[in-house]
Structure 1
Amino acid sequence: MNGKDANDGSLNKPLKTIMAAANKAMPGDVITVHAGVYREQVNPPRGGTDNAHRITYQAAKGEKVVITGAEPVKNWEKVDNDTWKTILPAKFFGDYNPFADLVHGDYFISMDRPNHTASVYLNGDWLREVYSEKQVLTPSENVGSWFAMAPNKGKDDANAPTTIWAQFKGVDPNKENVEIAVRPTVFSPTKAGINYITVRGFKLTQAATNWAPPTAGQIGIISAYWNKGWIIENNEISYTVCAGVALGKYLDQGDNFAGNNSQVYTTTIDKALKNGWNKETVGTHIVRNNHIHHCEQNAVVGSMGCAFSIVEGNEIHDIHVRHAFSGYEMAGIKFHGFIDGIISNNHIYNTGCFGIWLDWMAQGVQVKGNLLHDNSQADLFIEVSHGPALVSNNISLSKESVLMNSQGTVFGHNIFGGKFTVLFYDSRQTPWHLPHSTNIVALHDNPSGETQFINNLFVNGSDVSQYSSALLPVRFDGNIYTKGSVRAIGLKEKRRMGEVKKDMEEVMKKYKEQDAVETNALVKNEFDAANTLSVQKNEVYLEITLDKSWLEQKRKLMTSSVLGKASISNAPFENPDGSELKIDKDYLGNKRNVANPSPGPFEILSTGKQKIKVWTN
């Protein structure tokens, strides 16, 4: 369509840009965007008033709509071999030049490399940044690379040009689609309180995002920072140096220069509470059915602004696979303060980091029905949180299933194919809250234990031996151990979890080390579950051997009354709305036998090798 921003935005007189529509839209309006590539940064000036009066941004049905943070670049001049050069004037970038902007922030580790927020793309795929003209001129068998020289802020002439060298393997860049990222985000408001927005059906891509730590206003390709009630669904979100979807806190002076210790984040929480961190003001977002990939920090990130939200049905992969930098915030999904949040039915794989990382204040969290595999660190890390947290009906098949230094967690009806790493004691004082609230009751340290394993299936490669003893009770009940799995019970020697400080006298006075307790276990050392994943077209299948005879040993249905309360927070295991918790459905949504539920994520209907569809793209 040939739109003009002077038009009224009707079907017969369409607008040219999404931003022009955003400026006109009022609560209850729907903005339908037709096929095309929109090179703009959408900054919605207002949101809806409630769920019934949203402002909806949607791609026209059946049409491909791309909103990109990149601009095309031609006029490449060949330098040598596959390396070419272009010189861009300052006006090309306007007020933001990512080639002059270093990735930086709290908890970020540069690895002594000047990583920039910029990217260079060849036919939609990104080249790798190198750090000298010599490197970009050196022939390489790997993916193409780029190096840039841009004006140094405050030192050089702001009107000086930017020179980019890029190595394009075997192609003439003037005959291909070459783009560079120039916008720091694609779809993000610049102020808080832009509530009840829906964004659906787009390809959102190629933003020059900066590092998104929990202490700063977090900006991704798309950001719902310090707003309420966003729905982000059915999008493809891809290619950025840092974050894909950001559900974080408000922007503040001093962001990304606060420091790297626990006290800094405690101060951040105190300020957030004064700035409206509560269920009435922020959070309650839904991020569902998106395809999120090629983000180097995380696919979905949030700090406190993510509370009371749901992340479901997303395919997440190729996160932090380039390892150009490091830090403490890399995961497929990384949340701080994810109170009463739900992470369900996602497929998270091929990350160079954690699959899911729940850090501080993961109270009332449910992680259920997710498929996790081929993640280079643990599929799940729950850090310095006091529960209650429920982890149920998941398939966890990476080499490391779980990293823990938290309490008040129940693992129920999962398949585990990796080891558990458990820190014996963490002295950090972290908050716990009133149930279903952001209101902080007190701070507490983080001893190991106070964990329940109920009705799980442990297969080859799983190892929970580090829970053989802990500082708080550990309960195992109704679990199955097949060939190649390692139990916590029956070890000849106790293993202290993780790195234990030499001086533990005061800790051991406060807590008495306890042996794990197990009941109703089935140990099948000769039974090979032989679990493997296979991909056929757009479907993922789990091939696994199960045995109906396992049901001869009776098990209890997992309910609020069976699970009790998390001891430190004194909060019950229940749903976010306060209703009773019942694990009465399996991974596939089938009803469980409430009188005797099957171990693992599937209700077992037959004996032998099973081929179970566990994901459809």
Structure 2
Amino acid sequence: MVTEYHVAKSGSDQSEGTIEAPFLTINKAAAVAMAGDTVIVHEGVYREQVDPQNPGLSNWRRITYKAAEGEKVVIKGSEEVNYWKHVEGSVWKAVIPNDFFGDFNPYKEEIYGDWVVYSPNRHLGEVYVNGKSFYEVETLEEVKNPEVKTEATEFWQGITIPAHDPEGQKYVWYSEVNETHTTIYANFHDYKPNAELTEINVRKACFFPEKTGMDYITVQGFEMAQAATPWTPPTADQPGLIGPHWSKGWIIENNDIHDAKCSGISMGKEASTGDNYSSKRRDKPGYHYQIETVFSAKKAGWSKEKIGSHIIRNNTIHDCGQNGVVGHLGCIFSEVSGNHIYNIAIKRQFYGHEIAGIKLHAAIDTQIENNRIHDCTLGIWLDWQLQGTRVTRNLFYRNSRDLFVEVSSGPFIIDHNILTADYAIDNHAQGGAFVNNIVRGHMEHRKMLDRSTPYHVAHSTDIKGFAPIYGGDDRWYNNIFIGAEGIEGVGTDHYNGYTTSLAEYISNVHDDKGSDHGAFNVVEQPVYINQNAYLNGAHPFGREEENLVTDHDPEIKIVEDGEEVYLELNLPDNFEEMKGHVHSTHTLERVRLTDVDFENPDASEVVLNLDLLSNMKAAPTVLGPLSELKSGKNRLKVWG
């Protein structure tokens, strides 16, 4: 029997859960809802971590949690604090019994784990006044005298870590925890905290099952905020503000998700397959533990039949400290689409090598499409085991970096995107197809010969082999590369010296007099590069047969107008003379190492015939991600 349960702030958990007699908490409904049931939550703020106790059984017998139509429903991981005591000046303190936090005290728990680089006395707690988050400082003296710090520290690949809010705001806090109490000091400036909405992080998540295997759950229409989520590297448990926790078939849609201390939405792994062993044991690098995690996951049932196949769509995800969307292994066969992701990791109170608007490992056959990603430390970072992964029709702007693909052997597809960061692309992978993109910004191409990573049987988690990243085996077609003053490395000339066909590669390998395997290490893999445009100082691959090369400056701009976003581009007079093919499985050479073709997740032919706005393209096709691009001035709506 299918049931509809209702939850309202006027309800009682001793009620029947009907619309006339609703439950008071979402968790009461989560304890009784079974496959096929729907939980409708009515207007109000619910301060709880929703912990589903029962799974759905299929796509057709889901458990659906949704906000009542037209009503604002907020789930928070925080609690109000209205008993602040004045200390001096604009500094106040709240003394909270440790029992208030139960087994999890965010002001004792530190930002900690594998690949954390910079985290000076940072904790999972947070303070908010009227929804604005503060900055944690290292000493009580800094709370009393929160001077703007101008020094900054350079970390990995030039990422700058400012000491405080880049706008110079000095709303800061500091905490002390003893055996019985937690004391939080905060500088509220002109605010009187007991007269405002003042909140502190308390719970680890807002909607996250403690048990694994809670399959086929839909969560839609909520605002979810202010959770003390921990650091989520691929070698650890990966709880987010919301996530399926090693389950299958979740749909998370039409939500407003923000102010996760670390990660907003997690599709990631669970603790039994490894939990920060490199940091705890210090005997092996995280790389080795990550390999072990893959094998542990296989033993734990990591397969298309049991894990992944999630849909993350049409959410607004913002103001999270580490990631908007994160996942390792649990993100297989999933879809991340239509999301607006911004302000991710821009406070930079802590930093590590696992930060991005979307940060996924082992995203086998996962499709990332039609997302708007801006004002992030890094837009999308795809790491390890990109096979069948596709990044299509996404808009990137005002990010420190836009796209990073790392230590993967393909096949993966990057098509019909707009990438405009000064640092546009890091390519530390092989076996990719980059088709019909606009790339304005620095491009980095690197080999990774010291880290062999897994590749798989097509459309499967079964491991087929391991390989280092030799560089190359990439395809670049129909792209528009745009240089800019002071920005180097735009274009495809970093492939100069590479072979241009598998036949040439094989011939050169067997002409080499090295050992049977050594020759494969010194001959550059083939690249397939043709029919690209290089503008304003961008440089082509030396053996590209057809291209457009001009010093013309297209004066590219991304313009926001309310909820709409426009691309402005002034293309050269001869732009339309260069056309490209509509590429597909039949035109994209198979990937050498994995010996896998470019295909859709269902193994059907992939055809790259939809532009950024989902318009069907005809052959021959205009270069770049938009079918309407033409010579001269262009102003095209690309979002909204």
Q: Are 1:315 and 1:347, in contact at CA under 8 Å, matched by a contact in 2?
A: yes
Match in the other structure for 1:85 = 93
Which letter maps to 1:486? H
Quote the Cα distance in structure 2 between the aligned partners of 1:229 and 1:482: 44
Q: CA deviation at 1:147?
A: 0.4
Counterpart pick for 1:208 among 205, 222, 228: 228
Q: CA deviation at 1:286?
A: 0.4
Quote the Cα distance in structure 2 between the aligned partners of 1:557 and 1:87: 64
Deviations 1:168-198 (A, max 9, x none): 1211111111000000111101111100000
Match in the other structure for 2:566 = 541
Quote the Cα distance in structure 1 between the aligned partners of 2:268 and 2:116: 17
Quote the Cα distance in structure 1 between the aligned partners of 2:240 and 2:369: 21
Counterpart pick for 2:424 among 401, 405, 409: 401
Alignment of 1:190-201 (within 5 A): 190-201=210-221
Unaligned runs of 5+ residues in structure 2 are 1-7, 148-167, 280-284, 485-489, 499-523
Quote the Cα distance in structure 2 between the aligned partners of 1:122 and 1:469: 57
Q: What SS does structure 1 have at the residue aligned with 2:621?
A: coil
Quote the Cα distance in structure 2 between the aligned partners of 1:605 and 1:468: 29
Query: Which one is further off, 571-580 or 320-329?
Result: 320-329
1:611 aligns with 2:639: no
Quote the Cα distance in structure 1 between the aligned partners of 2:69 and 2:446: 50
Deviations 1:215-260 (A, max 9, x none): 1221010011210000000001100221100101122286123444
Q: Are 1:547 and 1:604, in contact at CA under 8 Å, matched by a contact in 2?
A: no
Q: Are 2:424 and 2:442, in contact at CA under 8 Å, matched by a contact in 1?
A: yes
Which letter maps to 1:208? A
Q: CA deviation at 1:602?
A: 1.0
Q: Are 1:222 and 1:245, in contact at CA under 8 Å, matched by a contact in 2?
A: yes
Match in the other structure for 2:185 = 165
Q: What SS does structure 2 have at the residue aligned with 1:135?
A: helix
Which letter maps to 2:98? A
Q: Are 1:102 and 1:115, in contact at CA under 8 Å, matched by a contact in 2?
A: yes
Q: Are 1:118 and 1:208, in contact at CA under 8 Å, matched by a contact in 2?
A: yes
Q: Are 2:554 and 2:572, in contact at CA under 8 Å, matched by a contact in 1?
A: no
Alignment of 1:29-428 (within 5 A): 29-111=37-119, 113-140=120-147, 142-151=169-178, 157=179, 160-252=180-272, 255-259=275-279, 260-352=285-377, 354-377=378-401, 379-428=402-451
Which letter maps to 2:495? Y
Which letter maps to 2:422? K
Q: CA deviation at 1:94?
A: 2.1
Counterpart pick for 2:33 among 25, 29, 53: 25
RMSD after superposition: 1.5
Q: Are 2:429 and 2:447, in contact at CA under 8 Å, matched by a contact in 1?
A: no
Which letter maps to 2:345? H
Counterpart pick for 2:533 among 467, 476, 480: 480
TM-score, normalising length from structure 2? 0.88
Quote the Cα distance in structure 2 between the aligned partners of 1:237 and 1:105: 24
Quote the Cα distance in structure 1 between the aligned partners of 2:258 and 2:432: 33
Stretches of 4+ moved more than 4 A in 1?
none
Match in the other structure for 2:454 = 431
Q: CA deviation at 1:56?
A: 0.3
Match in the other structure for 2:156 = none
Unaligned runs of 5+ residues in structure 1 are 152-156, 490-516
Relative to structure 1, the CA distance from residue 534 to residue 338 in structure 2 (aligned partners, 3 Å threshold; closer, same or farther) is same
Q: How many residues align?
A: 577
Query: Which one is further off, 86-95 or 263-272?
Result: 86-95
Q: What SS does structure 2 have at the residue aligned with 1:149?
A: strand
Q: What SS does structure 1 have at the residue aligned with 2:304?
A: coil
Q: CA deviation at 1:139?
A: 4.1
Q: Are 1:418 and 1:463, in contact at CA under 8 Å, matched by a contact in 2?
A: no
Q: Are 1:546 and 1:604, in contact at CA under 8 Å, matched by a contact in 2?
A: no
Q: What SS does structure 2 have at the residue aligned with 1:518?
A: coil
Quote the Cα distance in structure 2 between the aligned partners of 1:216 and 1:64: 34
Q: What SS does structure 1 have at the residue aligned with 2:107?
A: helix
Q: CA deviation at 1:86?
A: 1.4
Q: Are 2:575 and 2:631, in contact at CA under 8 Å, matched by a contact in 1?
A: no
TM-score, normalising length from structure 1? 0.91
Query: Which one is further off, 364-373 or 85-94?
Result: 85-94
Q: CA deviation at 1:449?
A: 1.0
Relative to structure 1, the CA distance from residue 247 to residue 453 in structure 2 (aligned partners, 3 Å threshold; closer, same or farther) is same
